[in-house]
Amino acid sequence: MKEPEVHLPFLLREDRMMENINTMDTLWVLFGAALIFFMQAGFTMVEAGFTRAKNAGNIIMKNLMDFALGSVFFWIIGFGLMMGAGNGFIGKLDLFISGNYDSNIPTWALVAFNTMFCATAATIVSGAMAERTKFSSYVLYSIVISAVIYPIEAHWIWGGGWLSDLTIGGSSGFIDYAGSTAVHMVGGTAALVGAKMLGPRIGKYAKDGRLRAIPGHSIPLGALGCFILWFGWFGFNPASSYGLSTAEQAYEVGNVFMTTNIAAAAATCIAMIVTWLRYGKPDVSMTLNGSLAGLVAITAGCNAVDPWAAAIIGALAGALLVFAVEFFDKTAKIDDPVGAISVHGVCGLFGTLMIGFFAREDGLFTTGKADRLLIQLIGVAAVLVWTLVTMYITFKIIEKANGLRVSKEVEIDGLDSAEHGLETAYSGFELKAND
């Protein structure tokens, strides 16, 4: 009996849809995927720079492994759950991806591209949970978010799920072009749950509850990370067009590049001004965070809005960021070493809702209709609740089974030594006597 075709590797199969494949589109998507991959370096440097040197090796491992594990488990399970033709809630179990997902780009290009988005959502959490999380617990979390939690909500938005079909009045389909909600709000919300359950780092709050700063050990590394993220975002947003072979796509991608950059720039300026007024001097680390806030906020609407609106959205995000960071530090007393909850969670949510006001075709300010805003609200709320519930369950189980936080001694000594056997990540900066 002839072997069923679906189990052959792609290059040997007869059901490849060659006539639809567009090589320019494929090049564009894969180029974008490479840029998005580089954002992993961005996250690693931001997080290493804004935390203490004694934990640098651990930060590196967390960021390296959430990408590596995410790639593997998204391939094994996640992609099928996200893109499989299931129902409105969930895709299909397509272990190791044997289905045909060709469109204008080949299946593996689609998989590789979407892997980068999944990995970005996963890696956001490492910053908020830095300096006190058991590495083994973080590994378990990475697997769960990449295999199940991210794919299912991404299915709703991008995999043909219920949010992509949601119609209210004249507006149809939840808009999240490159993932302010699907990637960033999800990551930021998971970060919120994790950081809250962990508790603050030792020394972050004095015995009387007073807030104490724990400065990062290398602002230059943090800055390098921000610039790398900004650079990588020029893949994250524009390549989500899934093509660059027609004039229409050229206009679309050009607009997305512009809105992306202008939102980031406006957010940076406003964040700087707000810190200048509030703290008396333009604050370096907060301004760097401001750039990211603008990038996160525009990620959903970079295609749906025009540059003038992107500048406003970015500017508002830059201001919102400063107040969000202070809120979590001083009011909510949730210790977030790098501001991940504020940058990704709060600004992701904010940016997605802003489409309801500023969308070219159906925004409240541009056309007076409220249908778009309503759709955006429903989508954001649904994904928010999904993430809060599933991440709470995930972290709770991990806490019970493995423990979430390291011991006091390990935290004080630094995770590099106890968790990784790494005496220091900065060997040349200290005296060492070797036998």
Partner 1 sequence: MKKLEIIIKAEKLEDLKAVLDAGNCSGVMISNIMGYGNQKGHNRLYRGAEYSINLLPKVRVETVVTAEEADPLIDTIVKEINTGNYGDGKIFIYDVQDAVRIRTGERGEEAL
The least CB distance from residue 47 to partner 1, in Å, is 22
Residues 70-99 that bind partner 1 (CB under 8 A): none
Residue 46 tokens, joined? 């931001």
Helix ranges (DSSP H) in 159-204:
162-165, 186-198
The least CB distance from residue 402 to partner 1, in Å, is 24
76 vs 38: CA distance, rounded Å: 23
Residues 8-27 that bind partner 1 (CB under 8 A): none
| CB closer to partner 1 out of 364 and 418 | 418
48 vs 58: CA distance, rounded Å: 9
Token pair 């093509």: residue: 243
| CB closer to partner 1 out of 4 and 421 | 421
Phi-psi region of 131 (alpha: psi -120 to 50; beta: other; left: phi over 0): left
The least CB distance from residue 57 to partner 1, in Å, is 11
| CB closer to partner 1 out of 19 and 435 | 435
Closest CA to 29 of 146, 98, 111: 111
114 vs 22: CA distance, rounded Å: 18
Torsion of CA 222, 203, 343, 352, to 10 degrees: 160
| CB closer to partner 1 out of 366 and 417 | 417
Residue 144 tokens, joined? 């769960």
Token pair 């609740």: residue: 385
| CB closer to partner 1 out of 169 and 203 | 203
The least CB distance from residue 256 to partner 1, in Å, is 44
Residue 290 vs residues 17, 188, 218, 296: alpha-carbon distances, Å = 44, 15, 18, 10
Residues 359-398, one symbol each (x = binds partner 1 by CB under 8 A, - = not), give ----------------------------------------
| CB closer to partner 1 out of 212 and 278 | 212
**One-letter amino acid identity for 34?**
A
**One-letter amino acid identity for 411?**
E
| CB closer to partner 1 out of 131 and 283 | 131
The least CB distance from residue 421 to partner 1, in Å, is 6
What value, to the nearest 5°, has the Cα angle with vertex 364 and ends 362 and 367?
55
The least CB distance from residue 329 to partner 1, in Å, is 19
Residues 195-234, one symbol each (x = binds partner 1 by CB under 8 A, - = not), give --------x-------------------------------
Residue 126 tokens, joined? 């490492």
114 vs 105: CA distance, rounded Å: 12
| CB closer to partner 1 out of 173 and 199 | 199
Residue 109 tokens, joined? 């290009």
The least CB distance from residue 131 to partner 1, in Å, is 13
The least CB distance from residue 330 to partner 1, in Å, is 20
Closest CA to 155 of 97, 83, 240: 83
Residues 283-322, one symbol each (x = binds partner 1 by CB under 8 A, - = not), give ----------------------------------------
Are the C-beta atoms of 78 and 118 separated by less than 8 Å?
yes
| CB closer to partner 1 out of 165 and 423 | 423
Count of residues that interact with partner 1, criterion CB under 8 A: 10
Task: List CB contacts of 65: < 8 A, sequence separation 6 or more.
Answer: 138, 139, 142
The least CB distance from residue 420 to partner 1, in Å, is 10
Residues 413-432, one symbol each (x = binds partner 1 by CB under 8 A, - = not), give --------x-x------xxx
Residues 332-361, one symbol each (x = binds partner 1 by CB under 8 A, - = not), give ------------------------------
- Asked if 435 interacts with partner 1 (CB under 8 A), we say yes
133 vs 128: CA distance, rounded Å: 10
Residues 158-197, one symbol each (x = binds partner 1 by CB under 8 A, - = not), give ----------------------------------------
| C-alpha dihedral sign at 301, 184, 354, 347 | negative
Residue 289 tokens, joined? 């965070």
| CB closer to partner 1 out of 15 and 423 | 423
The least CB distance from residue 70 to partner 1, in Å, is 26
141 vs 147: CA distance, rounded Å: 10
| CB closer to partner 1 out of 381 and 412 | 412
Give contact residues for partner 1 (rule: CB under 8 A): 203, 412, 421, 423, 430-435
